[in-house]
Chains A and B, each alone.
Chain A
């Protein structure tokens, strides 16, 4: 984060910091960390996919520029479709998290 300029008032006070970084929900901090990594990767992957969608739309036209890509405004119809695509993407990449497991390494085969 940028260093704050003491000459410019920010109207802030000292906050009482949360201790959530110490929380372990999955019995092993590595697993907890993996979840954060997965989510971060997910945001990156989705960013690429979404940018590609913008590009594909623009490439249908002619004379594509970077400014055009940044300024691209999806139509209401496109936005709705993209939201549906997004939700499908989330289900596709994260549904495994709801897998409950239940069999140990040495579990016998079912009859």
Chain B
């Protein structure tokens, strides 16, 4: 059933995205007061609440623009410069090189240093400004979340006594407190990643597109239950419910504040999905429970052992004929770590300084092998998760 929220403030983008899907629904925020205690001081744009102050919105807008310039114009200069540095040292810029040699050649270059530094400083500014807002109005935002905890549709399960593996406690992407250590981690992650995605995902466009790409199980096409592993603030989980309106959809994440925010947002949107603070490698769901198990950029943020266990867990909770569809850096056909100088230095920098702590764990996992070992029929040429990709890795549990 459509409710009033589905009919109010729906952006053209979300309508267009979902209108391609027979039976799909589109959710968007309505007026403040979607649940008792809901606050939206500056209203909404489609399915996103406007940031609560004009100045904060403008500061984030500036950082989005600067990020775009750093990632495009400045990176182009850095790539050209890397080529010249390699040639000056008698090396072929198109040849593979070791990480050690790449760092030796590039680490002290002032222009590359400018790129590394600018990105780190703007990333820190992004988080800091958002955190200042939410912590500066602690009672207001905490009260809103507490009110949403008890509201529906959908359910929320929090497990404050859960033992967290150490790998889950890092400040990934420099987000202060990471996914588990700050009570407003979900708020900050949502707006911070809107900034990161350069305004291309403010209406969950990327998540909607990816949810749309996931194929139903090939054996019979039946989709009754879906699991979104490492759901963060729940954008993919909501998009999955839109894609499969009749399915029971679950989003799980290790971060209590993440699923809390995800639930609050889903309640506000009027979407009947379930969130739980659980580990992807130990979901607690019964064997054969789900028709589809998916994840978006989860695997590069978990340890090698956890990643292998997550693959096994996905196989366990899928029913026969069910689909495993992970989306991450190397699921689009390129299954290995880059080997040229600039990319090597970039990924080392991302690992070391943007705190992609588990990146090398991810890059070193043999996903095809692990998926096969777990029992999946592996397809490297599954349907692409986005229009700019050609394929995506997927596994099917044999019937």
Interface residues in chain A, defined as those with a beta carbon under 8 Å from any beta carbon in chain B: 1-2, 4-5, 8-18, 20, 23, 25-27, 31-32, 35-36, 39-40, 42-44, 46-47, 50-51, 54, 69-73, 83, 86-87, 89-91, 94-95, 97-98, 100-101
Contact = CB atoms under 8 A, between A and B. Distances in A.
The 6 closest A-B pairs by CB, nearest first: A11-B256, A15-B181, A2-B138, A46-B62, A1-B135, A10-B183
Contact of A12 (B61, B111, B139, B181): B181
B177 A11 contact: no
A89 to B, nearest CB: 7
Interface string B70-81: 000110010001
Contacts of B256: 10-13
A36 B58 contact: no
Contacts of B53: 70
B205 to A, nearest CB: 15
A47 B58 contact: yes
| Most B-side CB within 10 Å, residue of A8, A10, A15 | A15
Interface of B: 42-43, 45, 53-55, 58-59, 61-66, 68-69, 73-74, 77, 81, 108, 110-111, 113-114, 116-118, 120-122, 124-125, 129, 131-132, 135-136, 138-139, 142, 146, 158, 160, 164, 166, 169-171, 174, 176-178, 180-183, 185, 199, 256-257, 260, 277, 353, 355
Contacts of A42: 62, 66
A83 to B, nearest CB: 7
Nearest to A32: B117
Contacts of A14: 169, 181
A1 to B, nearest CB: 4
20 contacts: A12-B180, A15-B171, A15-B176, A15-B182, A18-B171, A20-B124, A23-B120, A25-B113, A36-B124, A36-B125, A43-B58, A46-B62, A47-B62, A54-B54, A70-B54, A73-B43, A90-B65, A91-B73, A94-B118, A100-B111
Contacts, number: 168
A96 to B, nearest CB: 10
Nearest to A45: B62
B169 A83 contact: no
Nearest to B116: A25
Given A26-B114, A51-B54, A100-B81, A15 B178 contact: yes
Given A12-B180, A98-B77, A71 B43 contact: yes
B341 to A, nearest CB: 17
Contact of A9 (B62, B121, B160, B166): B160
Contacts of A69: 54
B138 A51 contact: no
A18 to B, nearest CB: 4
Contacts of A54: 54
Contacts of A91: 69, 73
A4 B257 CA distance: 14
Contact of B68 (A27, A44, A87): A87
Contacts of B181: 12-15
Contacts of A36: 121, 124-125
Given A25-B113, A40-B125, A47-B55, 14 more contacts: A1-B136, A8-B142, A8-B146, A10-B256, A20-B120, A25-B120, A27-B110, A35-B117, A35-B118, A50-B54, A50-B58, A87-B65, A90-B69, A94-B118
Contacts of B139: 2
B61 A16 contact: no
A84 to B, nearest CB: 10
A9 B142 CA distance: 10
Contacts of B170: 15-16, 18
A34 B5 CA distance: 46
A101 B58 CA distance: 32
B344 to A, nearest CB: 17
Contacts of B169: 13-16
B108 A70 contact: no
